[in-house]
Amino acid sequence: MIHIAKKLTIILFTIGMSFISFYANAQKDTLKLFNGDILVGEIKTLNQGVLTMETDYSDSDFKIEWTKISEIYTNQLYTINLTDKTVLTHATIKTVGPRKLHLSDEYLERDVWVDEVVYFRQLDESFWSKLSASVDLGYSRTKAENLQQYNASAALGFKTDQWTVNTTYRQVRSTQDNVSPIRRVEGSASSDYMLRNGVFFGASLNFLSNTEQNLNLRTTGVVGSGYYIVRKNTWYWNSFIGVAINNEDYQEIETATESADRQSYEGAVATELNLYDLGDLNLYTNIYWYPSFTESGRHRIDYRFDISYDLPLDFYIKASITLNYDNQPIEGASESDYVIVTGFGWEL
């Protein structure tokens, strides 16, 4: 009886180890590159033209340009976005030819070229892998008049199958002898919900404070919908239309007889362009136009342009321009305020 029990134990152990070995091998994904190289590991994401793969033989994840991949083999399930704005969830990916893939989920099944795939994310990713973050700093000092200026910005994002949440913070401060300090602070929190056809619904809360326009704080809440006019694995362009509530708290002026604080209801029309596969160069720009519904003839414009260059180890250098325009500023304030900053940063 003991002899039979030992045999049974050995058989069960062998079966168990075989199952574990089979399961482990089944979880291995394979990439074949145009130069003939083959990578084996776990395919995590494709985002902004870069595929991320985790391997057992490297401490850090591999990042491979999507255009260099010829074939892909995986048994994982993914959320996938295509250039025609189609979204597949719980989808499988199979190679059916050089640079040609077969995609399938419960609603759709089709063959596509590799270039038609804009984004995908493995469904069983951890919480941390859905995060994106960046921070950069800049500083300058001039002996004349003891001029000092520093700037800082940070961003944090979280992306699920259809939801995207982003927060940003940017500030610029400047001090100089015999001159009042210059200050500019802006922040935002936004969320988008993507449908399967390129349409998305969005909401945001934006904050701005600057000395040039005598603004203690401008708070603007926006809701609306948009559409991806173009969405490829190298760039995208979208448009947005909605409504906004704008509340403004201004610095008090000694000669003023009444408060300059304002609240208005506005429209919101915007467009956004992001080019993220120009080698190591990235370009991003957007413009928002706010025509007022409650203040006759008033309109505001917010414009932003960023350019960054990727460095090794996820570092980058960056330059940006931000402009705010108001054709009906309060008395004593400027119609526009702009800032040009440079910085050195790191991104997750």
Among 25-29, 41-45, 56-60, 317-321, the range of highest mean pLDDT: 317-321
Give the whole-angstrom CA distance, residue 180 versus residue 224.
39
- Does residue 165 surpass a pLDDT of 70? yes
Q: What is the model's pLDDT at position 139?
A: 81
Q: What is the model's pLDDT at position 251?
A: 83
Q: What is the model's pLDDT at position 226?
A: 95
pLDDT band for position 245 (50/70/90)?
A: very high
Q: What is the model's pLDDT at position 212?
A: 83
8 A C-beta contact, residue 192 and residue 201: yes
The Cα-based distances of 82 to 48, 185, 231 in angstroms read 12, 37, 8
Q: What is the model's pLDDT at position 244?
A: 97
Task: Compute the average pLDDT of residues 258-277.
Answer: 88
* Residue of higher predicted confidence among 90 and 244: 244
8 A C-beta contact, residue 159 and residue 130: yes
Q: What is the model's pLDDT at position 102?
A: 93
Task: Compute the average pLDDT of residues 312-336.
Answer: 89
Q: What is the model's pLDDT at position 75?
A: 87
In tens, the pLDDT along 49-78 reads 889 888 877 667 788 888 888 889 998 888
- Does residue 21 surpass a pLDDT of 50? no
Q: What is the model's pLDDT at position 47?
A: 85
- Does residue 330 surpass a pLDDT of 80? yes
8 A C-beta contact, residue 302 and residue 288: yes
Q: What is the model's pLDDT at position 254?
A: 52
Give the whole-angstrom CA distance, residue 176 versus residue 142.
9
pTM for the structure as a whole = 0.73
* Residue whose tokens read 């935002």: 188
How much is the mean pLDDT over the chain?
84
Task: Compute the average pLDDT of residues 317-341.
Answer: 89
- Does residue 211 surpass a pLDDT of 70? yes
Task: Compute the average pLDDT of residues 183-212.
Answer: 91
Q: What is the model's pLDDT at position 348?
A: 79
pLDDT band for position 24 (50/70/90)?
A: very low
Q: What is the chain's length?
A: 348
pLDDT band for position 338 (50/70/90)?
A: confident
* Residue of higher predicted confidence among 3 and 223: 223
- Cα-Cα-Cα-Cα torsion 265, 241, 196, 84, nearest 10 degrees, comes to -170
- Tell me the three-class secondary structure of the chain, residue by residue: CHHHHHHHHHHHHHHHHHHHHHHHHHCCEEEEECCCCEEEEEEEEEECCEEEEECCCCCCCEEEEHHHEEEEECCCCEEEEECCCEEEEEEEEEEEECCEEEEECCCCEEEEEHHHEEEEEECCCCCHHHEEEEEEEEEEEECHHHEEEEEEEEEEEEECCCEEEEEEEEEEEEEECCEEEEEEEEEEEEEEEECCECEEEEEEEEEEEECCCCEEEEEEEEEEEEEEEEECCCEEEEEEEEEEEEEEEECCCCCCCCCCCEEEEEEEEEEEEEEEEECCEEEEEEEEEEEECCCCCCEEEEEEEEEEEECHHHEEEEEEEEEEEECCCCCCCCCEEEEEEEEEEEEC
Give the whole-angstrom CA distance, residue 147 versus residue 188.
29
Which of 6, 21, 63, 11 is CA-nearest to residue 39? 63
* Residue of higher predicted confidence among 90 and 9: 90
Q: What is the model's pLDDT at position 59?
A: 67
Task: Compute the average pLDDT of residues 122-143.
Answer: 78
Domains of the chain listed by start with CATH number: 26-125 (no CATH), 129-347 (2.40.160.40)
- Does residue 130 surpass a pLDDT of 80? no
In tens, the pLDDT along 271-314 reads 999 998 677 889 999 999 999 999 999 999 999 999 999 898 88
